[in-house]
Amino acid sequence: MKKNLPLIIRVLLSALFLLSAVAKLYPTPMYGITKIFEEGQLIPMGFSEGLAPYFSRFIIAIEFFIAFAVLQKNYLKKLVIPTSILMIFVFSLHLAYSLFLGDSENCGCFGELIPMSPLQALIKNIITIGILGYLYKNTTDDKENSFSKLCVQLLTVLLVMFAFLPVSSQTKSEGNSFVLFVEDESFKNSEDYKILCYFDAGCEHCQHAARSIDSLSNLSDNFPPVHIVFSDTEQENIPKFFEYVGNQYPYQVMPFANYDTDEIDSYMEITFPDYDNPIVILYKGAKQIRLFDGSGYNEYQAEELQLLLDK
């Protein structure tokens, strides 16, 4: 058993890195890598929006590469194990910083497939580094190492990753098309001020934005009509969503994704990859006045919305 333990560990580590790479592409590759990994991990770490798409694909490719390389002896002790330890250590530093800031949301290490808090992920990383250290200590050097073979394997994985998930050069549109998908004809055709929201019922940021809009509505007798478009990913949470908000507003539910048609008729196709929840749009008739999205620099601000309505 002791003789076979290093091999068993290598197989388990391969499965772990493979799971980590695949999980970052869940529930769909582009959504997982952009909305969850890049916006949830890389951008908060300090990567720019322009660099994050390239680095995200590089990291996932490295995870796929390690998953295959750790099963071989080629440069296992000299490169593969040290690279694995270094990568996990760097992300552990970020997790420790997140803990210091009091963050308890999903860290994105396993995407949305296996949600983990920063503390859980840090513990997992510490254990993994310990196992890698044991493997390093109990691995003998392979005298027939082939650096060119290792490079070919790495380049192959990188090429496949960037070919499978090309970095989009698409720029943000003005967002005027959002209102075209509203089923309520009276809201869609209204020439007055109106507020259109794209939310996930289980999204805390969406809940806070909706509650803030409801609070603003209580301050005015002529507050614009509000219409909400929910994705069906957390449809069962809609009653709790409105319970938290305090009032119920007209809404509709759209399928998150629809791969059976070429028409744009799903939540992801409308919002992705340019916009992130919560999406709050102020219209005057068909003209978009202001579009808020995400929880970063362009996030919804009640004060700004109120100023726009008071003009």
pLDDT tens column, 113-125 = 898 999 999 999 9
User: Is the pLDDT assigned to residue 263 strictly greater than 60?
Assistant: no
Confidence (pLDDT) at 170: 44
Find, among 281, 181, 191, 284, the residue nearest to 231 by Cα. Answer: 181
Confidence (pLDDT) at 174: 46
- pLDDT band, residue 42 (cuts 50/70/90): confident
Q: What three-state secondary structure class fits 128?
A: helix
Contacts of 162 (CB under 8 A, 6+ apart): 57, 61
The domain spans of the chain are 5-164, 176-310
Q: What is the mean pLDDT of residues 110-136?
A: 93
List the single range of 164-173, 200-209, 273-282 with lowest mean pLDDT: 164-173
- pLDDT band, residue 169 (cuts 50/70/90): very low
- pLDDT band, residue 267 (cuts 50/70/90): confident
How far apart, in whole angstroms, are the C-alpha atoms of residue 254 and residue 240? Answer: 18
Confidence (pLDDT) at 168: 60
How far apart, in whole angstroms, are the C-alpha atoms of residue 212 and residue 197? Answer: 12
User: Is the pLDDT assigned to residue 175 strictly greater than 80?
Assistant: no
Give the strands of the sheet with 287-292, arranged side by side.
251-254, 226-231, 193-199, 279-284, 287-292
User: Is the pLDDT assigned to residue 105 strictly greater than 70?
Assistant: yes
Over the stretch 58-73, which tens digit does the pLDDT of each residue have?
A: 999 999 999 999 999 9
- pLDDT band, residue 37 (cuts 50/70/90): confident
Q: Structure pTM?
A: 0.64
The DSSP symbol for 224 reads P
CATH architecture for the domain at 176-310: 3-Layer(aba) Sandwich (3.40)
Token pair for 246: 């305090």
User: Is the pLDDT assigned to residue 258 strictly greater than 80?
Assistant: no
Mean pLDDT across the chain: 88
- pLDDT band, residue 305 (cuts 50/70/90): very high
Q: What is the mean pLDDT of residues 243-270?
A: 80
Q: What three-state secondary structure class fits 178?
A: helix
- pLDDT band, residue 264 (cuts 50/70/90): low
Find, among 238, 220, 241, 231, the residue nearest to 302 by Cα. Answer: 220
The DSSP symbol for 142 reads P
Over the stretch 79-98, which tens digit does the pLDDT of each residue have?
A: 999 999 999 999 999 899 98
